[in-house]
Amino acid sequence: NPTAFPQDFLWSAATSAYQIEGAYLEDGKSLSVVDLNINSAYADTSITSDHYHRFKEDVALMKELGLKAYRFSISWPRVLPNGRGEVNKKGIEFYLNLVKELKENGIEPLATIYHFDLPDCLQKEYGGWSSRKIIDDFAYYCEVLFEHLGENIKYWFTINEQSNMFLLPYLMVFDTDKSLEKQKYEMNHIMTLAHAKSIQLFREMVPSGKIGPAIGISPNYPKSCDPKDIQASREADDFRTYLFTDLYVYGHYRPNIWKYMLENNVAPTIMEGDLELIAGSKPDFLGLNYYQSRVVAYAPETLENKDIILNTGGNKGATGYEVIPGIYQGSSNQYLEKTDWDWEVDPIGLRVLLNDLNDRYHLPIIITENGIGAIEELTKERQVHDYYRINYLKNHLAQCRLAINDGVKLFGYCPWSFMDLLSTTSGFRKRYEFVFVNREDEDLMDLSRIKKDSFYWYKNIIETNGDM
């Protein structure tokens, strides 16, 4: 009889600022790199779900859902329109009001400091994350947040998915005249330093709070039992998971990654004291964004290097797999069902990954994202029958429970997302959890909120503390 979820388990749901707030130039906010560069081809961030104006209504829905906690992100350009310097009073007020509203409704706020939305002015001024100048600006931004919100928010996430900003560099702005690979490793090092500095500051300013990164990773399975494939899967874990997590927790690069960086001339500049700073800023927990597992095989040296090609249209089969010659190549998993975006649905992979992280780092873990994107429409009765989502969440939660039984210190679960929002890769077509936001037909694009079937299902899960 497996152990139940702990009594104080944080039943939560997640969103991020640029994906739900809208009001992208209101009340003093300046534009971020995401507002300008990432989605311009298919979506715009000016209104999204209009949460900026409707947060009270949204918090009321969270309360109805029974959420114990809610993960949101703070927009740097809303709080500091110039990236640094003067604090935008209205910007900080928005988050103070949101947190107040959450707390009055018995919901624990979980705040992400950075979720892809760098103030564009810092990108223009010195190239954003490519310059070490950002470390001080990020530290200042954190100082402002800890000063104004530190008393009211106990749980903080430093950076969301540094791993995916590395893997999918469309989330960043890079210099096209320079080697992308080199810039990726440089950015990764600088971001880790900024993350470490923010933890250092947090220890001084919010001594009773808890802080950690939110990482987006997948376990890598070998394509066969050919020892070459086994080794390839281990190296895929090194390059796509432990590169980030070993840095965060232990402050070191694995030797095979060093070797790769040096041989390929992509090593970042590491200054005296860098690794000590990182190693001295151990997080309190790991936040895990989990959507799928991956399969890899050995990649002969003769193959060409390839980056992942994302399926952004929701047309099955459009994904292009990554190849690192001599190390590994991605491939699809014949045993798993895929979403329309080719994301491989693998609940057991979550248990595998949770155990792996627990064995390696012995830190508490919170699932900061997990969920299924789909194209959805309202029925005539204005309902959304998202039975596939209920299945998805049920199966993943069952594995969470088994992982807790295995000894994993899992303390919370934040399905992505609380409500429909702008998808990072696929605009408004791809919808996620619990609350439908009506933008179907232009005349009726009233952005009204409609509870999906999964809303009622999750409500019951929370009420029964995960009894399925």
Using CB under 6 A, pick the residue from 30, 39, 281, 424 that binds ligand BGP: 424
CA distance 107 to 99: 9
What's the min distance (Å) between Cβ of 159 and ligand BGP? Answer: 11
230 or 308: CB nearest ligand BGP: 308
- Torsion 263-265-267-269 (CA) sign: positive
- Answer yes or no whether residue 344 interacts with ligand BGP by CB under 6 A: no
- Answer yes or no whether residue 425 interacts with ligand BGP by CB under 6 A: yes
CA distance 20 to 41: 18
Question: What's the chain's Rg over C-alpha atoms?
Answer: 21
CA distance 317 to 332: 10
Question: By CB under 6 A, which span of 156-164, 270-278, 356-364, 385-393 interacts with ligand BGP?
Answer: 156-164
What's the min distance (Å) between Cβ of 193 and ligand BGP? Answer: 21
Angle made by CA atoms 447, 42, 38, in degrees to the nearest 5:
105
What's the min distance (Å) between Cβ of 161 and ligand BGP? Answer: 5
Provide DSSP, 122-173: HHHHH-GGGSTHHHHHHHHHHHHHHHHHTTT--EEEEEE-HHHHHHSGGGS-
What's the min distance (Å) between Cβ of 56 and ligand BGP? Answer: 23
- Answer yes or no whether residue 314 interacts with ligand BGP by CB under 6 A: no
Provide DSSP, 28-88: T---BHIIIIISTTT--TTTTT-HHHHHHHHHHHHHHHT-SEEEEE--HHHH-TTSSSS--
- Answer yes or no whether residue 423 interacts with ligand BGP by CB under 6 A: yes
Catalytic residue of the set 21, 101, 322, 369: 369
CA distance 95 to 117: 16
- Answer yes or no whether residue 88 interacts with ligand BGP by CB under 6 A: no
Using CB under 6 A, pick the residue from 16, 192, 329, 339 that binds ligand BGP: 16
What's the min distance (Å) between Cβ of 4 and ligand BGP? Answer: 29
- Answer yes or no whether residue 163 interacts with ligand BGP by CB under 6 A: no
84 or 389: CB nearest ligand BGP: 389
Q: Is 214 helix (H, G, I), strand (E, B) or coil?
A: strand
Name residue, tokens 């029974």.
66
123 or 160: CB nearest ligand BGP: 160
Q: How many residues bind ligand BGP (CB under 6 A)?
A: 15
What lies within 8 Å, CB to CB, of 458 at 6+ separation is 13, 65, 393, 415, 433, 434
What's the min distance (Å) between Cβ of 171 and ligand BGP? Answer: 8
- Answer yes or no whether residue 373 interacts with ligand BGP by CB under 6 A: yes
- Answer yes or no whether residue 48 interacts with ligand BGP by CB under 6 A: no
Asked whether 423 and 373 are in contact (CB, 8 A), the reply is yes
Name residue, tokens 């624990």.
108
Using CB under 6 A, pick the residue from 120, 161, 238, 376 that binds ligand BGP: 161
Q: What is the Cα 440 distance to its own chain's centre?
A: 27
- Answer yes or no whether residue 9 interacts with ligand BGP by CB under 6 A: no
With residue 286 as reference, give the H or E element that holds it.
Answer: strand 286-289
- Answer yes or no whether residue 216 interacts with ligand BGP by CB under 6 A: yes
What's the min distance (Å) between Cβ of 124 and ligand BGP? Answer: 24
115 or 449: CB nearest ligand BGP: 115
- Answer yes or no whether residue 164 interacts with ligand BGP by CB under 6 A: yes
Using CB under 6 A, pick the residue from 29, 189, 197, 430 that binds ligand BGP: 430
Question: By CB under 6 A, which span of 20-28, 159-167, 351-359, 403-411 interacts with ligand BGP?
Answer: 159-167
- Answer yes or no whether residue 160 interacts with ligand BGP by CB under 6 A: yes
373 or 412: CB nearest ligand BGP: 373
Q: What end-to-end distance do the CA atoms of the chain give, in Å?
A: 13
Question: By CB under 6 A, which span of 83-91, 160-168, 198-206, 453-461 interacts with ligand BGP?
Answer: 160-168
Task: For residue 262, report the phi and psi dihedrals to the nearest 5 degrees.
Answer: -70, -45
Query: Strand 220-222 relative to strand 294-297: parallel, antiparallel, unpaired?
Result: parallel
- Answer yes or no whether residue 213 interacts with ligand BGP by CB under 6 A: no
- Answer yes or no whether residue 289 interacts with ligand BGP by CB under 6 A: yes
With residue 429 as reference, give the H or E element that holds it.
Answer: none
Buried b (16+ CB within 10 A) or exposed e, 37-72: bbbeeebebebbbbbbebbeebbebbbebebbbbbb
Using CB under 6 A, pick the residue from 339, 426, 433, 466 that binds ligand BGP: 426
Complete edge-to-edge strand list for the sheet that includes strand 294-297: 220-222, 294-297, 328-331, 323-324
Question: By CB under 6 A, which span of 62-70, 172-180, 319-327, 416-424 interacts with ligand BGP?
Answer: 416-424
- Answer yes or no whether residue 198 interacts with ligand BGP by CB under 6 A: no
Note if 369 is an active site residue.
Answer: yes
Instruction: Tell me which residues touch ligand BGP (CB under 6 A).
Output: 16, 19, 160-161, 164, 216, 289, 369, 373, 416, 423-426, 430
Which residues belong to the active site?
A: 369
